[in-house]
Structure 1
Amino acid sequence: MIFRQLFDPVSSTYTYLLGDSGEALLIDPVYEQVPRDLALLQELGLRLLTTLDTHVHADHVTGAWRLRQRSGSEIALAAIVQADGATRALEHGDRIDFGTRHLTVRATPGHTNGCLTYLLDDQSMAFTGDSLLIRGCGRTDFQQGSAQQLFASVREQILSLPDDCLLYPAHDYRGITVTSVAEERRFNPRLGGDVDVGDFAGYMNNLNLPHPKLMAVAVPANLRCGKPESGSDPAETPDWAPLTLRFSGVWEIEPMALLEHGATFQIVDVREAPEFIDRLGHLPGARLVPLSQLIARVDEFDRERPVVAVCRSGVRSAQASVLLSKAGFDKVANLAGGMLRWKIEGLPLASDSV
């Protein structure tokens, strides 16, 4: 069997590819990572049969619809969700085949009412979504969540599996990739050891967490299986740089890719002047054009050369990318994560000032 664990750095989402005898499944695909997933499937000689979402995510948009448009794959998720565009509604005990192998569906509601865990046929690995994270679990305060229900789901459907069963979550924010039933029974501070349902509910009901930033976009989109409101499949990836298309329609370039490919690009920093020379610094060769002045100054740019917009975190520069595209620029991208990502990755900064 072929197994790959893939990662989306923006949402810290793990996508899992399982393949056998030329057939494959993808668990929790991410909209922006569809080109990556398709390329991997092609390289490995696999035909995608089905995408499986562990639940209706609130922090990213699923790639299920987009993958179906490209490969004809089935879209499977919990029946209770009643998602528009799903081609297979899953119930507890259902079986999903690929090659000579299969997954079994275990209903594990509590984080949301439609959470599922997928168990490999030999019980050597399970994909737990947000029901059980590594030394944690998903929150229970929205999308019909219930602390009592999640406690029962995890104890009865996940921690009842063999000790050596490997558990793969939908997310991890510390870079940890896998755990096991034995580890979580012993070390999970919320659900392991002698914790009872009263302890767990008391903890979960007092987290007082803010809602995920993308929830208002992600949940409605995921109830359409990731289909954009426009109903159209996005354009093919531009060939002038390695870019990733965000669900918002903005193309992004990763910091390292900009460093490697951007020698001839026009880099436009859309922050305000004091930010250009603050502790984050600015990129070599960047031109300062505050977002408020951008449209009035578009004639300063060469329309034949690619333009990469930059700001502190990638939010203002995403808007700049939209404005430049509307102004007729064909080759535009946003720097993913902005100057914050650039500095975290230790990439070179300009030594000059405004």
Structure 2
Amino acid sequence: MIFRQLYDAASSTYTYLLGDRASGEALLIDPVYEQVPRDLALLAELGLRLVATLDTHVHADHVTGAWRLSQRCGSRIALAAVAGAHGVQRALKHMDIVTFGSRHVAVRATPGHTNGCLTFVLDDQTMAFTGDCLLIRGCGRTDFQQGSPRHLFASVRGQILTLPDDCLLYPGHDYRGITVTTVAEERRYNPRLGGDVDVGDFTGYMDNLHLPHPKQMAVAVPANLRCGQPEGTAPPMDNPDWAPLTLRFSGVWEIEPMALLELGDRVQIVDVREQAEFIDQLGHLQGAKLVPLSQLTERMDEFDRNRPLVVVCRSGVRSAQASVLLAKAGFTQVANLAGGMLRWRGEALPVDSAAE
């Protein structure tokens, strides 16, 4: 199985990718709207086809990427039936099974943080994805969206901490950078729900947290009750319109050699190799401007910010770094030449070998 744990820094949200290597089918658990380009890039690079998105609950701190991914991939949107959200294509109930290739996750209803919280347990019970129900040495709050400390206590004790001791537990968030825990650890060390804590202890603790509401709650909850679909006209799906580009998981947009050749002089080409490489046996692209990577920061004023810019190097590594630097400097139409001059020459495309 392919497994990846992804992170959204703005909301401290973990997104989980589960893929069946043999079939190429995959699930995403708790995708984030703004991170959809990242997730699509990773799916493409791993050769996976997204068949479903699963949200552990109706989130109050970020907008789900479920609708956006469904529009792009045709993936089914799955959420708890009791959430009553519009746009759900598979309404999940306790003990449902969601398959991806030869693998599956089992759905466990774990209400308490919200009334529609779900925990997803991998078929061999080696992993479980607990959303905000059980966090690492903590748990989700219980003071809105039909939350209940009594229900949460019963959910964690009855549906999660009864899993095998070595089952890895992956939460929906962590605010300290901790990535995973186990059933045995939480059963022993969780200060709210482990050890000798009883329902009275837990209820008294949770009823006196007095936390402010999440900053994005007024936006996130209504949006998530639409499965992340924007109101009114949907925004564009972020693909640049000046060329057919591919977003890599690293966050860099790439252009294929033939696509760049077809653009001709409609783009600026910046070669970030050293002078000796610019005129070596690989040659350089016609019209390319030589600006070594070491000089790029000081020479950005030489580029037209209103024209698309393609960055080139020998293999695409240095130019990828240059693309990042240009994007940080405010250039909005930047792409890296996929594979660099090695790929360009390998496809027998025209070069200029004369010195600039």
Same fold by TM-score, threshold 0.5 exceeded?
yes
> Helix, strand or coil for the counterpart of 1:157?
helix
Structure 2 residue aligned with 1:11? 11
> Helix, strand or coil for the counterpart of 2:150?
helix
Q: Which amino acid aligns with 1:234?
A: P
TM-score, normalised via structure 1 length: 0.69
- The whole-number CA distance in structure 2 between the counterparts of 1:128 and 1:35 is 24
- The whole-number CA distance in structure 2 between the counterparts of 1:261 and 1:133 is 44
- The whole-number CA distance in structure 2 between the counterparts of 1:261 and 1:193 is 58
Structure 2 residue aligned with 1:338? none
Q: Are the aligned partners of 1:24 and 1:47 in contact in 2 as well (CA < 8 Å)? A: yes
Shift, 1:232, TM fit:
1.5
- The whole-number CA distance in structure 1 between the counterparts of 2:197 and 2:132 is 19
Ranges in structure 1 where 5+ consecutive residues have no aligned partner: 245-259, 267-301, 307-328, 333-354
Shift, 1:82, TM fit:
1.3
> Helix, strand or coil for the counterpart of 1:139?
coil
- The whole-number CA distance in structure 1 between the counterparts of 2:8 and 2:160 is 25
- The whole-number CA distance in structure 2 between the counterparts of 1:71 and 1:263 is 41
Change (3 A) 1:104 1:117: same
Q: Which amino acid aligns with 1:126?
A: A
Alignment of 1:249-264 (within 5 A): none
Structure 1 residue aligned with 2:69? 67
Q: Are the aligned partners of 1:167 and 1:181 in contact in 2 as well (CA < 8 Å)? A: yes
Structure 2 residue aligned with 1:200? 202
Deviation per CA, 1:270-297: give whole Å up to 9, x if none: xxxxxxxxxxxxxxxxxxxxxxxxxxxx
Q: CA RMSD in A?
A: 2.7
Structure 1 runs (4+) deviating above 6 angstroms are 260-266
- The whole-number CA distance in structure 1 between the counterparts of 2:71 and 2:227 is 12
Counting aligned pairs with the same residue, the percent is 76
> Helix, strand or coil for the counterpart of 2:146?
coil
Shift, 1:231, TM fit:
3.9
Shift, 1:261, TM fit:
8.5
Q: 2:57 aligns with which of 30, 55, 58?
A: 55
Ranges in structure 2 where 5+ consecutive residues have no aligned partner: 254-294, 309-329, 334-356
Structure 2 residue aligned with 1:276? none
Structure 1 residue aligned with 2:139? 137
- The whole-number CA distance in structure 1 between the counterparts of 2:232 and 2:297 is 32
Structure 2 residue aligned with 1:155? 157
- The whole-number CA distance in structure 1 between the counterparts of 2:101 and 2:138 is 33
Structure 2 residue aligned with 1:322? none
Q: Which amino acid aligns with 2:141?
A: R
> Helix, strand or coil for the counterpart of 1:177?
coil
Q: Are the aligned partners of 1:265 and 1:305 in contact in 2 as well (CA < 8 Å)? A: no
Structure of greater Rg: 2
Shift, 1:237, TM fit:
3.9
Shift, 1:330, TM fit:
10
Q: Which amino acid aligns with 2:14?
A: Y
Aligned length: 262
2:168 corresponds to 1:169 = no
2:101 corresponds to 1:99 = yes
Q: Which amino acid aligns with 1:2?
A: I
Change (3 A) 1:51 1:331: same
TM-score, normalised via structure 2 length: 0.69
